[in-house]
Structure 1
Amino acid sequence: MPRRLTTYLQLHKLPLLFALFSLVFYYTLAYQLERTDYFKLFTLFAALFFFSWKLIQFEKWNFRFLLVSGVLFRLVFIPIEPHLSQDFYRFIWDGELVVNFINPYLETPNALMENLGLPIANAQELYQGMGSLSAKHYSSYPPLHQLFFALAAMLGGKSILGSIMVMRAFTILADLGIFYFGRKLLKNLNKSPHLICWYFLNPLVIVELTGNLHFEGIMLFFLVWALYLLSQNKWQLAGVVMACSISVKLVPILFLPLFLKYFGLKKSLPFYLIIGGISLLLFLPFYDPAFLTNYSKTVGLWFSNFEFNAGIYNLAKKIAISMDEKSWDFIKDYGKIVPYITLATAILLTFLRNNRDLLKLISSMMWLLTLYYMISTTVHPWYIISVLLLGVFNSVKYPVIWTGMIVLSYFAYSQVDNKENLLLLSLEYTVVIGFIVYEVVAQLHKK
């Protein structure tokens, strides 16, 4: 064995061991885990969080080591269907529709399946796989999201696994883009570039984005790219890229008011016009008089019909039920006020914080999104990844803690009726809120 290699192995013995164990555990998660085996899932996640922490601790200046490790962990999932989420069936379904020039915003899968001549590869398997809840609703995925679905359908060779592998390639490339632009942005903000590894090596990111094919990573790639462009004072191009982020997932719309103070009134107006214009162009191919009605109706369901891993909502519901209010009526009423609370918070953060500084702007984005998910009725684990990435630039650790604690919500997957354990959810939010309070107090003491 060459002396240089021997020396390298001796110097990096523990990190290499942690990386090897991580590969084994990711393999177990991908190929040998039943969705209902919660104890096994939880222990695997706990071990992977420990290993990721130790890898960053030992190798934080060795970017090549951490980059290669993160890529290898993702590659483990390439040739396997997700088993912790069934959303990918709907992704491929929508992609097949777009490829065949069928507007996914105008017909539900239930209605389309009545057409015996539907030109969709694997239509029956995709329809059954997506589940009855998804099948009865119009698509809720924005237009650029649909483009990635269509590319997966085209390049997948009319194979479900082929389309999955194409989408996996997209998510891995997006995470590599986040690693690249995230490091550059951290340097521009006078932050240590190794902090991006808290995102890149996070097990929740790897499992939910690469493993389960959620597209938060692609949305965040465009967001981080836009923020990097802002740090370079290329605000016009940043507006174009920001519109792309919104057109993958609608979440960044929440951040738009915050730019008012960052740019000032004179510059913010053309910035908004760029975002609005590009967004309209991307939606234009799908436009139909029924489009707005169908799309807004589908998006609105997330506020007032579904509930999962909710924090403040569960507490409020328990109080409401104790006062003899029906839970169905309560979620309808509660869902109506969530957008107003979020908008009011965005306005307060816009005018009460000094968002002229890019770091403060990113901080406001993080706190706004944190509050939004704290009060939401539905908080799937992959939603928190956006908070995690924004937290990287603000040197706070509560988002990292949250990505670990949110694994408790997977308990519902082990139940036949997906019933949640409110004790576990209470533990999750108590720890997260407690850590937020701790970090805020610690920052106030520094000042």
Structure 2
Amino acid sequence: MQINTTFFKLNKISILLTFACLLFYFSFAYNLARTDYIKLITLYVALFIVSYKLIQITSGKFKFLLVAAILCRLVFLLATPNLSQDFYRFIWDGYLNQLGINPYLYSATEIVNQNLAQQMSNQQQLYDGMGWLSQGNNSNYPPINQLFFVLGNWFPGSSILSSIIGMRICIILADIGVIFYGRKLLRAFQLPENSIFIYALNPLIIIELTGNLHFESIMIFFIIFSLYLLHKGKWFWSALCFAFAISTKLIPVLLLPFFIKWFLKHHNLKSLIGFYAVIGITVLLLFSPFISSDFITNYSKTTALWFNNFEFNASIYYIARAIGYSISGYNQIAIIGKCLAFLIFIIVWSLALFRKVNNMQQLIVNMLLGLTVYFLLSTTVHPWYLATLVLLSVFSNYKYVIVWSLVIVLSYLAYANKDNTENLWLIGIEYSIVFLFIIGEIFNLKTIKNIKI
């Protein structure tokens, strides 16, 4: 009893801040509609302030912050995601795999119209819940992601909530793994180990990954584990983990060029070729159960939609779109999307080939900058896309990602109206703040010196 009393006295403020976080997350999880934008923004900003103070005040107490990070995630355990409807498609794909139906060959509408999955539990509810966009397109979620959809459905019970709980447990475990290996890398770089909680206690990460069931956490776990293994000189196992990351979400493909200079400086050309070969073969093997001529056509078509058709919370693209409208009178997304993709290719390869890579920390910072360029030039930037940036920023002196992870909540104001149309003034405010911080940090000589550009 005396020990408990002493512990409370020594950690009184930290305990109160943690309790405040839990209350705010509970309200977010169980008593919030995404159309209630005032409450959404108020809770989100409050969580940022409280989480920041918690990390600041509890500096040096890793176990306390770890418990706080886990508890904040467990608050969402029984909640149905309220900011995204993607989870309906996740459960749907999981059931298709369990029934032996290739999720890449049929759209949800085709499945329903042709009665291809009559044994699927909650079929109509899942179909209605996923929305028209997901209904009309084939799945584009890679094989490892599909595996976790199945694992979620294996959780005891046959309801949608039971599948949600199953997937959420997988995501929470992945985040614990991120904390574990992130801490190891921070120690190796002689950086404060509590910096990992910039990721682990960031409200964007907790709400979008654990809360809204986005599987970036699984991908991020494989990325950080891969980087840790590479730091230890185990490039074969690192390549295997990186292949798993690509097979969870395709975005890590963008990071592949950054390994070239690392291997040429710290290993040799033979190891570099072996590294890429292991990644390529592993990805092909993971996709192989689904591969067919129709798969290649459908998957490439669905993936291309992200650059040629979809647009949400973009920055530079919206400027280019406005110029295109003024010239032609209609949306030039098909042309602009291809141009931006080419520009991303050029800039990412330039960063990969011309920036220094003297150590693993510099490699991670280069990846951070490359991925930043990608999102700034993308046509679609949903809030959870920033999760990888948040993790990579932990190993740098750049703070713009933290600011971005705060102001991106403005993108949810698109759901404040019936048509779900974006307010471009708010998007402008969001990215004006982000660009100001980016420019400020790039031209800050102290920051440049610290990260050894």
- TM-score normalised by L of structure 2: 0.96
* 1:117 Cα deviation after fit: 5.7
- Where 1:290 maps in the other structure, the secondary structure is helix
Q: Do structure 1's residue 184 and structure 2's residue 188 form an aligned pair?
A: no
Q: Distance in 2 between matches of 1:318 and 1:376?
A: 15
Look up the equivalent residue of 1:204 and give its one-letter code.
L
Cross-structure match for 2:130: 130
Identity percentage of aligned residues? 47
* 1:440 Cα deviation after fit: 1.5
Cross-structure match for 2:426: 424
User: Tell me, which stretches of 5 or more residues in structure 1 are unaligned?
Assistant: none
Cross-structure match for 1:208: 208
Q: Output aligned runs, 1:164-313, within 5 Å.
A: 164-264=164-264, 265-313=269-317
Per-residue CA deviation, residues 262-281 of structure 1 (Å, 9 max, x unaligned), is 10233210000000011111
User: Tell me, which stretches of 5 or more residues in structure 2 are unaligned?
Assistant: none
* 1:324 Cα deviation after fit: 3.8
Q: Which moved more, 1:111-120 or 1:265-274?
A: 111-120
Q: Distance in 2 between matches of 1:156 and 1:325?
A: 54
Q: Distance in 2 between matches of 1:234 and 1:60?
A: 32
Per-residue CA deviation, residues 161-191 of structure 1 (Å, 9 max, x unaligned), is 1000000001100100000000001111121
Q: Distance in 2 between matches of 1:292 and 1:443?
A: 48
Q: Do structure 1's residue 410 and structure 2's residue 409 form an aligned pair?
A: no
* 1:445 Cα deviation after fit: 6.8
- Where 1:80 maps in the other structure, the secondary structure is coil
Per-residue CA deviation, residues 82-113 of structure 1 (Å, 9 max, x unaligned), is 11110000000000000111000001111110
Change (3 A) 1:174 1:46: same
Q: Which moved more, 1:152-161 or 1:306-315?
A: 152-161
Cross-structure match for 2:54: 55
Per-residue CA deviation, residues 417-447 of structure 1 (Å, 9 max, x unaligned), is 1111111111111111111111112246763
Q: Distance in 2 between matches of 1:36 and 1:446?
A: 41
Q: Distance in 1 between matches of 2:317 and 2:59?
A: 38
* 1:364 Cα deviation after fit: 1.1
Alpha carbons 1:263, 1:356 under 8 Å: kept: no
Q: Do structure 1's residue 321 and structure 2's residue 325 form an aligned pair?
A: yes
Look up the equivalent residue of 1:132 and give its one-letter code.
W
RMSD: 1.2
Aligned residue-pair number: 444
Alpha carbons 1:99, 1:154 under 8 Å: kept: no
- Where 2:443 maps in the other structure, the secondary structure is helix
Change (3 A) 1:435 1:337: same
Look up the equivalent residue of 2:248 and give its one-letter code.
V
Change (3 A) 1:319 1:270: same
Look up the equivalent residue of 2:389 and give its one-letter code.
V
Look up the equivalent residue of 2:401 and give its one-letter code.
P
Cross-structure match for 1:348: 350
Look up the equivalent residue of 2:297 and give its one-letter code.
T
Q: Distance in 2 between matches of 1:183 and 1:343?
A: 32
- Where 2:276 maps in the other structure, the secondary structure is helix
Q: Distance in 2 between matches of 1:405 and 1:174?
A: 26
Q: Do structure 1's residue 385 and structure 2's residue 384 form an aligned pair?
A: no
Q: Which moved more, 1:230-239 or 1:11-20?
A: 11-20
Per-residue CA deviation, residues 380-403 of structure 1 (Å, 9 max, x unaligned), is 000011111111011221111110
Look up the equivalent residue of 2:439 and give its one-letter code.
V
- Out of 371, 396, 399, the position equivalent to 1:397 is 399
